[in-house]
Amino acid sequence: MRIFLQLCCISISLLMVLSACGNRNISAEDVQKALQHQGLEVTKINLGTAEQYEGSSLQLNGVFPEAFELALPAADMANREFVFIYEYSSEEECKSANQSGGISSLRMVDLHPNIRQKKNVVVIYWSHNKENPLMINQFTKAMDEF
C-alpha cells in the first residue's frame, strides 16, 4: 500500500510539472525553431530591412515585433517574405492587442498578412501571394505545434 501511495504522489507531481510546462509563454525563439523544423530558412532581420508604407508603424499595442525573413532552402525566391512575432507577457495582453483593431492597421508594401494568435504571441506571415501564400503550409504546421 505504501508503494502505491508513493507512485500516486509521483504521478501527481509529474502531471503538475507537465501541465505547468504546457502553460508557459511562447517566445519568438520558439516560433523561429518551429518554422525551421518545417524546413524553412529563418533569418533574423532589422525592421528597417522590411519595406513598409511611409508613415506606418509596425508597432502593435506598444510592442515591436521580432522580424525574420523566410526562405525555402535551395530556392531562388523572386520575392522576399517575412514573419513578424509580437511577444506579450500574457495571453490576456495578447488578446487585447488583437481586439484593439491594431492588427488591421498594419501594412507592408505589396505584402499580405496571414495572422495567427497562440497563447501570448501574435505571429504574422507576410506573403506576396494573397490567394496562395508560398509557405502557408509550413507556417500553419509550425503554429499548430503550440
Give the predicted TM-score (pTM) of the model: 0.77
Element (H, E) at 127: strand 121-127
Percent over 70 (pLDDT), the chain: 72
Q: What are phi and psi of 73, to 5 degrees?
A: -60, 140
pLDDT of residue 73: 87
Q: What is the dihedral of CA 81, 30, 58, 92, to 10 degrees?
A: 140
pLDDT of residue 85: 96
pLDDT digits (tens, 9 = 90+) for 80-122: 899 999 999 988 888 776 666 667 667 777 889 999 999 999 9
Angle between the 28-37 and 136-144 helix axes, to the nearest 10 degrees?
120
Percent over 90 (pLDDT), the chain: 46
Mean pLDDT over 49-60 rounds to 61
When pLDDT is cut at 50, 70 and 90, the band that residue 78 belongs to is confident
pLDDT of residue 56: 55
When pLDDT is cut at 50, 70 and 90, the band that residue 46 belongs to is confident
Mean pLDDT over 3-25 rounds to 54
Q: Does residue 50 have a pLDDT over 70?
A: no
